[in-house]
Amino acid sequence: MIVKLLFIGDIIGEPGRKKIAQFLPELIKKEGIFFTIVQGENLAGGIGITEKTAKEVFNCGVDCITTGNHIWKYKEVYKYLDSEPRLLRPANYPDGVPGKGYNIFEKMGIKIGVLNLEGRVFMKPIEDPFKTGKKIIEEIQKQTKNIFIDFHAEATSEKRALSFYLCDYATGIIGTHTHIQTADEQIINQKCAYITDAGMVGSIDSIIGIRKEEIIAHFLLQLPQKFSVAKENIVGNGVIIEFDENQGIAKGIKRIIF
């Protein structure tokens, strides 16, 4: 059976959460979405995530929240990471950190594995996402062929490299972190849906979701700035992936803007 998975890019602060609450339930209904993943590491104030902001998004029909390097901003979320299996942090952090980096969800008898990884180029030197990802996928495959990866990374080269490394094992590999939706969606090897970056839910009159005046001042003066979330002209980005849930093979991927 062919089903649809919706992946939504980084949701930026309260304006992004309001956009999700306003449009997501209808989008799920209109498109016939079976499973929904959102990138939530910037849900709270434009950086980080809290239990309260995560629950807001879950209440809109989201099945899984993935994150990235900003997951550790608020310590209050640490216990929530351990108690909420629908909230993931990157799997390639060292052993002993709160939460888990992947989960296998079962919905209407269909199992879907979601794996969260973080890149290392221009980012913290954490564990190898390539080796970690391959090892975890081998575990997930014991239960399902439907495997989706959020690769939260800065460098497009690293995202492309990981996509070719894991494309024969994953149903979809979606890049996040740069907040700019790319136009390179494709099906790799007639198997794996891929896009370098899903984009964001934030202001198009901003710099990656932050008020442009503050970012420009930072570049001009090279002084520390207090950044705040842009609140006008909020647009949502994401992708819809159609896949054969019996074979774990992607049949189509399309970008969406809402």
Catalytically active residues, by annotation: 70
Alpha-carbon dihedral angle through residues 247, 248, 254, 257, given to the nearest 10 degrees: 140
Rounded distance between C-alpha atoms, residue 159 and residue 196, angstroms: 6
Is residue 203 within 8 A of residue 234, CB to CB? The reply is yes
The total of other beta-carbon atoms located within 10 Å of residue 83's CB is: 10
What SS3 state is found at 39? strand
Alpha-carbon dihedral angle through residues 40, 41, 42, 45, given to the nearest 10 degrees: 110
226-255 exposure pattern, b = at least 16 Cβ within 10 A, e = fewer: ebebbbeebbbbbbbbbbebeebbbbebeb
Phi first, then psi: what are they for 142, rounded to 5°? Answer: -70, -20
Question: What type of residue sits at position 50?
Answer: T
- Token readout for 45 is 């104030």
Rounded distance between C-alpha atoms, residue 90 and residue 179, angstroms: 17
